[in-house]
Amino acid sequence: MNTLSGKHILLGVTGGIAAYKSAELIRQLRAEGATVRVVMTAGAQQFITPLTLQALSGNPVHTDLLDRSAEAAMGHIALARWADAVLVAPATADFMARLEQGRADDLLCAVTLACEAPVALAPAMNRAMWDNPATQKNVQALQARGMHRFGPALGEQACGEVGPGRMLEP
């Protein structure tokens, strides 16, 4: 049974090493029947290419806030209206801080702020960044606004440390 059949999932990918996990996440979402569109930050594109995620999602990947090819340059609004849910995975400390502040300085923040559908975050960062009081305050504020959180997991991190901060496995 495809539990996400007919659902539109907007996957936001931010600039952390866990961005590579987004490829498998797209595959799993599509296997459950979802239509997936991807928004990548500039940092995410340093870890994994838009072409990879386009091939896996079957849809163009969106990267620019002011995309002149988008209808009336309002691509962020069209994407926000299209989504039945937004999942940001990985969600970096920087992304969550900008979102908590209400900044719309890139496409992913703008779409997330404009979206009235449920938003879920999958945090991924070094354990010290996760444990930082500023990060914890931002996460609590975002959850108080109704955003959902998946993780992070406890385990070995790319930096070699062990602790909370790993993105959950797709």
- Tens of pLDDT, residue by residue over 32-84, are 999 999 999 999 999 999 999 999 999 999 998 776 665 555 678 889 999 99
Indicate the pLDDT class of residue 157, thresholds 50, 70 and 90: confident
| Residue 124 lies inside a defined structural domain of this protein | yes
What residues have CB less than 8 Å from 115, skipping those under 6 apart?
10, 79, 80, 83, 86
Domain at 30, CATH number: 3.40.50.1950
Task: Give the pLDDT score at 68.
Answer: 62
| Residue 132 lies inside a defined structural domain of this protein | yes
pTM summary value: 0.93
| Residue 90 lies inside a defined structural domain of this protein | yes
Backbone phi, psi, residue 92, to 5°: -80, 165
Task: Give the pLDDT score at 74.
Answer: 64
The encoded tokens of residue 71 equal: 């209808």
| Residue 150 lies inside a defined structural domain of this protein | yes
Cis peptide before 50 (omega within 30 of 0): no
| Residue 13 lies inside a defined structural domain of this protein | yes
Of residues 78, 41, 37, the one with CA closest to residue 56: 37
Which domain covers residue 87, as residue numbers?
Answer: 8-166
Task: Give the pLDDT score at 124.
Answer: 96
- Tens of pLDDT, residue by residue over 98-132, are 999 999 999 999 999 999 999 999 999 999 999 99
Task: Give the pLDDT score at 1.
Answer: 62
Task: Give the pLDDT score at 70.
Answer: 58
| Residue 50 lies inside a defined structural domain of this protein | yes
Highest mean pLDDT among 71-75, 83-87, 162-166: 83-87
Distances (CA, A) of 60 to 19, 49, 87, 109, 167: 17, 12, 17, 18, 25
Q: Does 109 qualify as catalytic in the annotation?
A: no
Task: Give the pLDDT score at 158.
Answer: 83
- Count of domains observed in the chain: 1
Q: Which residue has the higher pLDDT, 76 or 86?
A: 86
Indicate the pLDDT class of residue 2, thresholds 50, 70 and 90: confident
Task: Give the pLDDT score at 73.
Answer: 54
| Residue 2 lies inside a defined structural domain of this protein | no
Which member of 31, 74, 134, 159 is catalytic?
159
The mean per-residue pLDDT over the stretch 130-136 comes to 97
